[in-house]
A and B are shown apart, each in its own frame.
Chain A
Amino acid sequence: MLQLEFDERVAADDRVEPRDWMPDAYRSTLIRQIAQHAHSEIIGMQPEGNWITRAPSLKRKAILIAKVQDEAGHGLYLYSAAETLGVDRDELVELLLAGRQKYSSIFNYPTLTWADIGAIGWLVDGAAITNQVPLCRCSYGPYARAMVRICKEESFHQRQGFEILYTLGHGTPGQKAMAQDAVDRWWWPSLMMFGPPDAASTHTGQSTAWKIKRFGNDELRQRFVDMTVPQADALGLALPDDGIAWNAERGHYDFTEPDYAELTAVIEGNGPCNAERIAVRRAAHEDGAWVREAAAAYAAKRAGREAA
């Protein structure tokens, strides 16, 4: 009976809300996905934060601080969305630190130059938007609503990345080389952000039936390539794939698939920065423990005083 109501709700494109009955597997799939998404926002602050103190102009510095701050905000919305499913943020953070929940493997690559900030905005936020816009219509209400807020900000992130690369691409030979090098390094990992090909993906089928996921990995990856190729021309930068060509028959750009063995290796912990990203997060968490304890103790004392 409850199952039937749930199925009908999903079929009718109605939103499932926290108080509604839902299958256990739906709940746990959402918790896993939303938590992973929240963790990605938080870990993603590190590679970009790496350039805040060296941003080359005060205007760029302000934009970058605002962007990294947005990512913290995204993490907050998403942890709150996950909490509506009956878990709490602390629990999820512990799972992240213990390596039992994942975050987007893209953030296990280092930001070596300033141009990487441009490439992350343009490609990584661009890929994130492609993945996330359909999530604004996801069947679970709190997640869908969080995504609406997030997507608005992500488009500003992508634009600022594009602008950084545009300025570099039209700058001195040194700046242009820096921009091209960054695009060469971030292109393939960005394509990997859509996950393995659908044929090899373990989660896609059920998530699609539940209307958590609306499109397959391959379709989203194609959409991203189609959007990005003309933008690369506008930037005056090359994408590092000789296989990119317009295919009139398909109405899409052909492109070379990334090396999914690399994706697997990075997910399994063998990326350039996996250990460091978790170590930094753990250090911030542990160094801040006394502050959180103080805030809790103070709140309890005050509540006690008010009750007295």
Chain B
Amino acid sequence: MRSPFFATPPATTMPDAAAYALRLGDDALVLSHRLAEWVAHAPELEEDVALANISLDLLGQARALLAYAGAVEGAGRDEDALAYLRDDRAFTNMQLVELPRGDFGLTIARQLLFSTYQRMLYARLAASSDETLAGIAAKAEKEVAYHVDHATQWTLRLGEGTAGSHARMRAGLVAVWPYADELFEADPLTDRLAAEGVGVDPSCLRGEWDAAVDGVLREATLERPEVRPAAGGGRRGLHTEHLGHLLAEMQSLHRAHPGVTW
């Protein structure tokens, strides 16, 4: 018998569109949180502003997606109930976004991988037959175009800047690369939704993504690291040990005062 880490995913209890919106919303929510950790600690003031900006864009996307997931589910859960009252096993974000923020090299490496993927995903999702998802994606794609540009510019600066920055950027890539495969993993839910024209089959993004990321790395005099992929499982609620700590912090105050208004 396989352990749950290697088994096929259990059926979700939510309607498909809700489960799908929740996945994308969780990605945005958790990465927004990691980026917000930089605010007041960034390498220069301009980056405090830029990282806060990206964090805010992602938080806005997360709120729209979570609210929609709750509405489709129809069980009375709003964006806050979904963000603050689920335990880590019920979070369906990819593991890439929950890794600790690390140094600036890791942060930029993750931003490059994730923003490039997210932009391609949203570009396709903007044509979804689900009007709400299409609307959220169309608005978000414009925001993410800036995130891609920010990550690209910094990859070039760090890659080409000094020997030290090149090494740090390389180390950042090595740390996040094992989590890249998970971005493109299709499963029964995405298969169904892609067939219906509601969702995107993430495995379709891989070729375009490889070309885009390789292009940036080449220009930055960096290489794709040779690393073994991580086990993955975020979509099935199997996370790294880091997510529990992130949620403990994020949810502590909300949970200390059940049912109140803030």
Do they bind each other? yes
Contact with A along B27-46 (1 / 0, CB 8 A): 00100010011011111111
Q: Is the CB of A297 within 8 A of B162?
A: yes
Q: Is A235 an interface residue (CB 8 A)?
A: no
Q: Is A284 an interface residue (CB 8 A)?
A: yes
A294 to B159, CA, bound (A): 8
- Looking across the interface, which residue of chain B has its beta carbon closest to that of A44? B40
Q: Is B208 an interface residue (CB 8 A)?
A: no
Q: Is the CB of A284 within 8 A of B42?
A: yes
Q: Is the CB of A284 within 8 A of B160?
A: no
Q: Is the CB of B257 within 8 A of A175?
A: yes
Contacts of A287 in B (CB 8 A): 41, 43, 103
Q: Is the CB of A60 within 8 A of B262?
A: yes
A46 to B36, CA, bound (A): 12
Q: Is the CB of A114 within 8 A of B43?
A: no
Q: Is the CB of B261 within 8 A of A291?
A: no
- Chain B binding surface SS class: helix
Q: Is A251 an interface residue (CB 8 A)?
A: no
Contact with A along B57-100 (1 / 0, CB 8 A): 00110110010000000000001100110000000000000000
Q: Is A86 an interface residue (CB 8 A)?
A: no
Q: For residues 149 through 175 of chain B, which have their beta carbon under 8 Å from a beta carbon of chain A?
A: 156-158, 160-162, 164-165, 168
Q: Is the CB of A72 within 8 A of B45?
A: yes
Q: For residues 33 through 84 of chain A, which have their beta carbon under 8 Å from a beta carbon of chain B?
A: 42, 45-46, 49, 52-62, 65-66, 68-69, 72-73, 75-76, 79
A298 to B219, CA, bound (A): 12
Interface extent on B, as a size class?
Answer: 35 or more
Contact of B40 among A62, A68, A114, A171 (CB under 8 A): A68
**A52-B39 CB under 8 A given contacts A57-B80, A65-B55, A292-B44:** yes
Contacts of B250 in A (CB 8 A): 53-54
- Looking across the interface, which residue of chain B has its beta carbon closest to that of A63? B56
Q: Is the CB of A291 within 8 A of B104?
A: yes
Q: Is the CB of A284 within 8 A of B40?
A: yes
- Chain A binding surface SS class: helix
Contact of B36 among A52, A56, A76, A291 (CB under 8 A): A52
Q: Is the CB of B252 within 8 A of A284?
A: no
The number of residue pairs between A and B whose CB atoms lie closer than 8 Å in the complex comes to 139
Q: Is the CB of A291 within 8 A of B257?
A: no
Q: Is the CB of A68 within 8 A of B158?
A: no
- For A, the interface residue count at a CB cutoff of 8 angstroms equals 47
Q: Is the CB of A288 within 8 A of B260?
A: no
Q: Is A11 an interface residue (CB 8 A)?
A: no
Q: Is the CB of B60 within 8 A of A288?
A: no
Contacts of B156 in A (CB 8 A): 298
Q: Is the CB of B41 within 8 A of A284?
A: yes
CB distance from B157 to the nearest CB of A (A): 4
Q: Is the CB of A167 within 8 A of B48?
A: no
Q: Is the CB of A292 within 8 A of B43?
A: yes
Q: Is the CB of A288 within 8 A of B104?
A: yes
Q: For residues 271 through 291 of chain A, which have their beta carbon under 8 Å from a beta carbon of chain B?
A: 280, 283-284, 287-291
Q: Is B212 an interface residue (CB 8 A)?
A: no
Mind listing 22 A-B residue pairs with CB under 8 Å? A49-B40, A53-B250, A60-B262, A62-B59, A62-B63, A65-B59, A66-B56, A72-B49, A76-B45, A172-B260, A175-B257, A283-B41, A288-B44, A290-B164, A290-B165, A291-B47, A292-B44, A294-B158, A294-B161, A294-B164, A295-B161, A297-B161
User: Assuming A54-B249, A291-B158, A297-B161, what are 11 further A-B pairs, CB within 8 angstroms?
Assistant: A46-B40, A57-B84, A57-B254, A69-B48, A72-B48, A175-B257, A284-B41, A289-B43, A293-B162, A293-B164, A297-B162
Q: Which residues of B contact A (CB under 8 A)?
A: 29, 33, 36-37, 39-49, 52-53, 55-56, 59-60, 62-63, 66, 79-80, 83-84, 103-104, 156-158, 160-162, 164-165, 168, 249-250, 252-254, 257, 260-262
